[in-house]
Amino acid sequence: PALLAEISNAPPLLFVAGDPGILEKPQLAMVGSRRASRPGMDTAAAFSRSLASAGFVITSGLALGIDAAAHQAALDVGGRTVGVLGTGLEKFYPQRNRRLAQAMIASGSAVLSEFPLDAGPTASNFPRRNRIISGLSLGVLVVEASVASGSLITARLAAEQGREVYAIPGSIHHPGAKGCHQLIRDGAVLVETIEHILEALRGWQRLPLPTETPSTAATHPLLLLLHAAPHTSEALSVTSGWALPKVLAALTELEMDGRAVCESGRWFARVS
């Protein structure tokens, strides 16, 4: 995937079960505690449903807790979701989420790993896969995490990769909120609604405002290229001179507006 290829230690290859084409679509990662509270799980599900409905692919690690809630909620609204494993595809872990992974594959989502098919669960591989979760994504949303949580590793990697980091605050008395509060102190975007995520992406990418007039909408630079010929997101980045994250964020807005569509990894302009 083009966005993942930008990171300094990108994996040389990925094993993918499901639809590899969705890896070129704009993704947002959602991570958090394996032992999440019920409110934390509900929050993860609510944000995942909204973001998936807005056209984002939801990316996470298929772990118990927040990860599973995010994947399942995306499927519930007919969205797409990507699970990044810390094992080989044939040695799925944790077994409790195997049925969820099978549902993801069957519904046109994807489960992937950089590890050989028969690689079993090794403690060092789970933090290692976190760079892929963040590297595939425009940003990482941390829903609930203690200060010792592996989710903070993913958030730190995201920041190093130049991605957005978002955190949902919680009670000062709840240990599962302390990691998110630490991230916010360190500069993460404090998130209370999905709009806070979309605002941050628009501000970061300096995207055109949704109030643009029809005449300017018709001359969107990416649409002009797509009307000429279908392009991959990477080709659009090269041709337009825009950074790849900016291209992906703009394509998401065009897809939400019904003006562009991605099929088999290539983007097409919709003819109205």
pLDDT bin (cut points 50, 70, 90) of residue 262 is confident
Among residues 205, 208, 127, the alpha carbon closest in space to that of 164 is found at 205
Regarding beta strands 266-269 and 260-263, do their DSSP bridges make them parallel or antiparallel, or are they unpaired? Answer: antiparallel
Same domain, 109 and 187: yes
Same domain, 150 and 243: no
Question: What's 213's domain CATH number?
Answer: 1.10.10.10
Q: Exposed, middle or buried by CB within 10 Å (0-12, 13-18, 19+), for 257? A: middle
Distances (CA, A) of 1 to 5, 6, 20, 21: 6, 9, 9, 9
Same domain, 241 and 188: no
Query: Last residue of some domain: 163, 187, 203?
Result: 203
**pLDDT tens string 4-26:** 999 999 999 999 999 999 999 99
Same domain, 72 and 139: yes
H/E run at residue 76: helix 66-76
Percent share of the chain, pLDDT over 90: 67
Same domain, 138 and 243: no
Query: Last residue of some domain: 165, 184, 203?
Result: 203
Same domain, 128 and 238: no
Question: What's 159's domain CATH number?
Answer: 3.40.50.450
Same domain, 216 and 90: no
Query: Last residue of some domain: 203, 224, 259?
Result: 203
Same domain, 232 and 160: no
Same domain, 166 and 217: no
How many angstroms separate the CA atoms of 140 and 159, rounded?
9
How many domains does the chain fold into? 2
Same domain, 147 and 259: no
Same domain, 116 and 236: no
**pLDDT tens string 169-182:** 999 999 999 999 99
Q: Could you count the other beta carbons within 10 Å of the beta carbon of residue 156?
A: 16
| Domain hosting residue 172, numbered range | 2-203
Same domain, 186 and 227: no
**Residue 212: pLDDT above 60?**
no
